[in-house]
């Protein structure tokens, strides 16, 4: 009789695989294994990896240190996608290697925007009034 997996188990598996991919990519970037001068010149944080339910696609969110040259770094990562996919496939050991899509992480910008809204004197007055 086939074993059915609960949706919670599937989401945990997606999170675990995404985290493994994040660690592999972070290690590759930290060691400077990609033969690209742009990538070697920047310190890049892999902030999150979101896997598709079938584990064939991965959206990789990256942020260069201090947010400098974000577009240039993402373009360099996209140029070297084949190298990163090959390395992830070898180290991950899954049946299919996930196709990587590199994207800039905008969550830090959004957090800064919310912080500036909360620092507005009108908002602060309303919050203190409660």
Question: For residue 27, is it within any domain?
Answer: yes
Give me the number of domains the chain comprises: 1
- Band (pLDDT 50/70/90 cuts) for residue 10 is low
Of the candidates 64, 70, 58, the one whose C-alpha atom is nearest the C-alpha of residue 99 is: 58
CB atoms under 10 Å from CB of 45, counted, come to: 16
Which pLDDT score, from 0 to 100, does residue 48 have?
A: 92
Q: Tens digits of per-residue pLDDT, 89-127?
A: 999 887 788 999 999 987 666 666 777 767 777 777 777
| Token pair of 110 as six digits | 């959004």
Question: For residue 16, is it within any domain?
Answer: yes
Question: For residue 127, is it within any domain?
Answer: no
CATH number at residue 93: 3.30.300.20
Give every strand in the sheet of 44-51, ordered side by side. 44-51, 57-64, 99-104
Q: Which domain holds residue 60?
A: 7-105
Question: For residue 119, is it within any domain?
Answer: no
Q: Tens digits of per-residue pLDDT, 56-73?
A: 999 999 999 876 788 899
């Amino acid at each position: 009789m086939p074993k059915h997996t609960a949706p919670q188990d599937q989401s945990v598996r997606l999170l675990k695989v995404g985290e493994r991919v994040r660690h592999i990519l972070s290690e590759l970037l930290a060691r400077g294994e990609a033969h690209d001068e742009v990538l070697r010149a920047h310190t890049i944080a892999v902030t999150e990896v979101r896997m598709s339910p079938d584990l064939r696609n991965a959206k990789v969110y990256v942020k260069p240190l201090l947010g400098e040259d974000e577009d240039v770094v993402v373009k360099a990562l996209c140029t070297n996608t084949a190298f990163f996919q090959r390395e992830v496939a070898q180290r991950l050991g899954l049946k299919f290697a996930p196709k990587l899509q590199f994207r800039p992480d905008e969550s830090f910008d959004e957090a800064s925007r919310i912080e500036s809204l909360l620092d507005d004197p009108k908002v602060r007055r309303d919050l203190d009034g409660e």
